[in-house]
Amino acid sequence: MTARIIDGKQIASDMRDELKEEVARLKKQGIVPGLAVILVGDDPASQSYVNYKERDCQEVGIYSDNYRLPTETTQKELINLVHEKNNDTKIHGVLVQIPLPKHLDESEVLLAIDPAKDVDGFHPINVGKMVIGEKSFLPCTPHGIVQLLVRSGVTIEGAEVVIVGRSNLVGKPLANMLIQKKPNANATVTICHTRTKDLASHTKRADILIAAAGRVNTITADMVKDGAVVIDVGVNRIEDTTKRSGFRLVGDVDFESVKKKASMITPVPGGVGPMTRIMLLYNTVESAKIATGLEME
């Protein structure tokens, strides 16, 4: 058996085309979705990610309002800018790029974002709504994973899902999304982590195995059930002298061995990553629809 590759780039591209059409329809009604992105400091990875977001907005037709603030920006200055964007009627989504410089309090900044414009889905109000199954902005990476599964024809309902990793960004929200009593959910979910005894005994039960531990080769072939669907969320740099950069990106899954046992598998890069970006645009468009009295999907 050789696994079918789940092409996150292609699925994200398909969704981008769908959003482009949706934005065009909204503009005919006088509605222009707007996203404000705030970057503090000069972290290279964050700068690159923000550049991608700007380009994504342009491609889809979303109005993009971007702020690049110096590292020495104070907590008060940052929060004041967030409040300003909360009150800006042209803006439907406010995103503060994380991580912030160490002197800034990330929790306080995230709490300052209006939950109605929290397109990252991190505000406690939106997290709470997600947990109890109410409509809310869902965190982009977990929501992107669900879209990967659904659009690849994977049956989630009744599936045994094992998630390796319990972060607030991926593991916890994804588990909550998959156990909901609603379409594209109704799974039986096990969360494993660094204190789990005999990790393989859990992963080998999984119909859908999601690796989000942040460690190379966390999942090897002997830990995977034949025919399982494997989603690799990890992004790890390892040394590679054949690359100009001196490194290459790999996931948490031993891709070459696991693809011989799985029925489907995501690559790294090109799997989950592109979906995270597209779900941010999706949430921004949904926010614009809600702000103008249209129903949230």
Q: Which residues are catalytic?
A: 53, 97, 120
The token duo for 45 is 């990875």
Gap between the Cα atoms of 251 and 214, Å rounded: 8
Report the C-alpha gap between 283 and 66 in whole angstroms. 17
Tokens standing for residue 273: 């990553």
As a whole number of angstroms, the distance between CA 92 and CA 32 comes to 9
Give the other-Cβ count within 10 Å of 291's Cβ: 16
Residue from 83, 160, 120, 116 nearest 292 by CA: 116
Q: Which tokens go with 152?
A: 């690849």
**Closest by alpha carbon to 262, among 198, 200, 196, 206?**
206
In the chain the first and final C-alpha atoms are separated, in Å, by: 38
The dihedral through the CA atoms of 144, 148, 151, 154 has a sign that is negative
Sign of CA dihedral 159, 163, 169, 173: positive
Q: What are the tokens at 233?
A: 């969320």
**Which run of H or E residues covers position 191?**
strand 188-192
Residue linked to tokens 């907590």: 75
